[in-house]
Amino acid sequence: MFGDFYCRFAPKRNIFRNLTLGLADNQVVLVNCYMRDIIFKILIAGFILVGLGSCGALEDGAQFSNKVTANAFVAELYGNITQTITINHATDSHVSWIGFVQANDYQYFKVTKVQTGDTVIVSDGVEVDGVTYVANSNALIEDVSVGTSSGGSDEFVNGSINVAGQGSLKITVEYSPLVAINDDDEPHEAYLILYYDAPSMGTLRVKLQGYTDGMKNEKCARAVSTMTPSVYKFKNNKFDFYFCGEEVAAKGQNNIADLAETDPGYHGESTNLTEVSTLDVAGQEQYLTVYQVDEETLCLLSGELTGTDPSIPDFTFIVPEGLAPIDQLEIKTTAGSFAECSVDADGLIFCDSTLMVDTGVVPVSELTATNGTISAEELVTSQCSDFGALSGSGAYGTSDLTLVMKGTMLSDANTQSFNIVDALVAAEIELECVSGC
């Protein structure tokens, strides 16, 4: 343990920084820390390059690279907090290894437990299959088979990331800040890599962000009772949902193609427009609630954080015929998540790629939301080149407000088979304030 502490905090270029490592057969060796760092980084880079190499690496070209962000950690300086990340996979996936990229602030994070279904793979200080796992930032967890079980008997809280599929893997991460954040806009960051070799080869990169207590970005993690809510109803109980991708045109589902290019409703040759109902299953109105923390910060919260309904209610997207072998997609805010948004003196809201949603079928990136304008350049993807700009209207605190949102489809087995990787998703939501404005 002292060796690991010394290795972590000794000068980076000290060639005599050594780490004592316990091997599987209980032998002990000394490894030069500086060389250890270099070797590990080379291995990480090599593994990722192998997984993301040319499409000829696998006969069916089934490779993927997903990037997701966990909920923020907030801990007192010299304290710690844990969060369990739930990751869904394709059936019978195999994870070759799990480990941190040794860069940024990875030394403040460590994996304390990995579990699939009822099976504990590793747990800090616990002997599993004759080996006692000791959690540290440099640990590499290998050979993890993920079955089809939906979960184990343990109760996990504080966050969830869902990648389309059926198998379930739970990874508990501890954040222990030893240095305060100097710039409250720059959290501690680390990247946890999961490298898969079956049934498809690829990587999942989980971005972790940690804040020391009292920093700006913990505001949305405070008790909801300290926030001021503003409640909006959806005008006409619906909103416009756009899907832009190559398959839209190929399947003849571009239902706005006849509009003139100068028409504000025109959004390219590969866009489908759907009116999404915001009524619940009983036909009752639902509402969008924004929580204000202070003069410059707004929050969009999941139901787990509000204790009642999420800021944005669940809704159903009717999938255009032929785009996928399903006819609808249930979309909801990711459990335990929040989006921290800025608001200026003019009532301009901006949530920069912070809103997390789940579909249970296909992965979607974090969403950007604003009542301002998302430029045409920001709405260009490899599958959607001519969507154009999308503009909201109104000001926060006034009776009428229009939010616009945008995100993209991430890569996994489903999105690859549907040919919708990097397709654009966007929304235009007209709102009317009913209280708190």
Task: Single out the residue of 89, 189, 188, 183 nearest to residue 144, CA to CA.
Answer: 89
**CATH 2.60.120 segments of the chain:** 58-214
Three-class SS state of 292: strand
pLDDT less than 50: residues of the chain? 1-39, 41-42, 44-62, 149-160, 162-166, 215-216
pTM for the full predicted model = 0.58
Three-class SS state of 127: strand
Q: Residue holding tokens 């960051």? A: 189
For 296, which DSSP code? T
Three-class SS state of 376: coil
What integer pLDDT is reported at residue 388 of this predicted model?
93
**199 upstream amide cis, omega within 30 of 0:** yes
| CA atoms of 299 and 311, how far apart (whole Å) | 8
Task: Single out the residue of 47, 109, 42 nearest to residue 82, CA to CA.
Answer: 109
Task: Single out the residue of 122, 160, 117 nearest to residue 139, CA to CA.
Answer: 122
| CA atoms of 135 and 140, how far apart (whole Å) | 10
| CA distances from residue 380 to 143, 160, 351, 374, 386 in whole angstroms, order as listed | 39, 29, 19, 11, 7
For residue 181 the two structure tokens come to 């954040």
User: How far does Cα 260 stand from its chain's mean position?
Assistant: 37
User: Helix crossing, 33-51 with 2-9: angle to 10°?
Assistant: 80
What integer pLDDT is reported at residue 67 of this predicted model?
80
CATH 2.60.120 correct for 58-214: yes
For residue 417 the two structure tokens come to 């088979």
For residue 258 the two structure tokens come to 């006849």
Contact 368, 340 (CB under 8 A): no
User: How far does Cα 227 stand from its chain's mean position?
Assistant: 24
For 411, which DSSP code? P
| CA atoms of 195 and 365, how far apart (whole Å) | 19
Q: What is the 3-state secondary structure (H, E, C) of 381-410?
A: ECCECCCCCEECEECCCCCEEEEEEEEEEC
